[in-house]
Homo-oligomer: A and B are copies of this chain.
């Protein structure tokens, strides 16, 4: 006797729903314990039921574990920064879930339909979005992208229905009706978007939401499936072997940028004084021009201990209006920062257009100190070169002016400065045990720094190696380079 197929009765659906909800609640707890961050984005036509389905999804979740972000048009805070800023800064900590009602895909839907993004710009934007998602998934974030479809007829019907009910009429705006008229265009653009941005680790889930109940079931099933898969993945070990951090790119035949530095440059004190005053005044003027055209400026300072980062920064900002710049000292990440992607904390400090952010140490810690001290896996720091390049390229594409200074001295000069500092009671605090320890690893750091410069020196985010043995020379070079770069860009 053939076993009867399960009927599609109401009761079956209800049982299935209860089961899925329980599974989801349990998976959320497991994800929290295993510190797996989750990002779920919802895109889709107007009146396709995004809000409704988000609500149903959340029913089984612990409200302490998620945050819903309604991503309207960008506010003033966001509009003067690279467009991924407001999404990056909202990426969840390792034990949280972020749900985006509309997302970075606004650019490939609304902005495509209204013409803000042209066909020429399309490939660049697609690449930036794919890079963003890849950086998240490579870092262990589960990215779930939901696209809700609905027929033109059904959309019309729902909007009329919503409008006729006084409690929901506010949900249908003039804009929604405009979009409805453009139904076909939205459909074409959304197909294109889905095709262009499919990714193995961040696939689209397409759901027809004409019937919300079955759409809900389909959504729950898909989310449960993705979370189950994510939880099965082995946890990465917390301790990283550092033995093999250096045997990489050996014999690639690339020159060592640091070996080519001529450290014999000097500058006369008097010339230094006049030059730096003139340059500081010029920079002050440029700061104002910058404000007018609302472009963000990112200046990175890296370098050997005692190479003069602090002194160079001080002379750089001396003439500036302090309301227009910020110096961001970068130390070891705090617990909140550690529970996010390593780039997150730099995104949260990203300057608003018209402002200058000066990073005293930076995201390049990933490929130097984190590489050499084993704070991250070999896989992670090797991946970081591309991640950093992609990030800086995105910033640059969005109008950011980027300069990266490597303050360079030789080993003898460093020793001299260490000893001078230790002898001076006013400067003794500047020298710590760690500085001496790092000095002992000079040759290793040199390999990492050479790799860093070779792999991340880009036309729109160049490295400037500053010959630092002579302080006046170094400081004027930093000032001159900055002034010239701003003049070229403005």
Contacts and interface: CB of A to CB of B under 8 A. Distances in A.
Interface of A: 26, 29, 33, 51, 54-55, 58-59, 62-65, 67-68, 70, 75-77, 99, 101, 167, 170, 285, 288, 310, 313-314, 317-318, 321-323, 326-329, 334-336, 358, 360, 426, 429
23 contacts: A26-B426, A29-B429, A51-B321, A55-B321, A59-B318, A62-B314, A63-B313, A63-B314, A63-B317, A63-B358, A64-B310, A64-B313, A64-B327, A64-B328, A68-B322, A68-B323, A68-B326, A101-B323, A167-B285, A170-B288, A334-B334, A334-B335, A335-B335
B64 A322 contact: no
A64 B310 CA distance: 8
**Interface SS, A side:** helix
Contact of A336 (B62, B313, B334): B334
Q: Report the copy number of this chain in the oligomer.
A: 2
Most buried by B among A33, A64, A314, A326: A64
A329 B335 CA distance: 16
B329 A51 contact: no
A329 B93 CA distance: 13
Given A62-B314, A63-B358, A65-B329, 12 more contacts: A51-B323, A58-B322, A59-B318, A63-B314, A63-B317, A63-B327, A64-B328, A68-B322, A68-B326, A70-B323, A76-B76, A334-B336
Contacts of A335: 334-336
Contacts of A288: 167, 170
A76 B72 CA distance: 14
Given A63-B327, A335-B334, A335-B335, A322 B426 contact: no
A62 B310 CA distance: 8
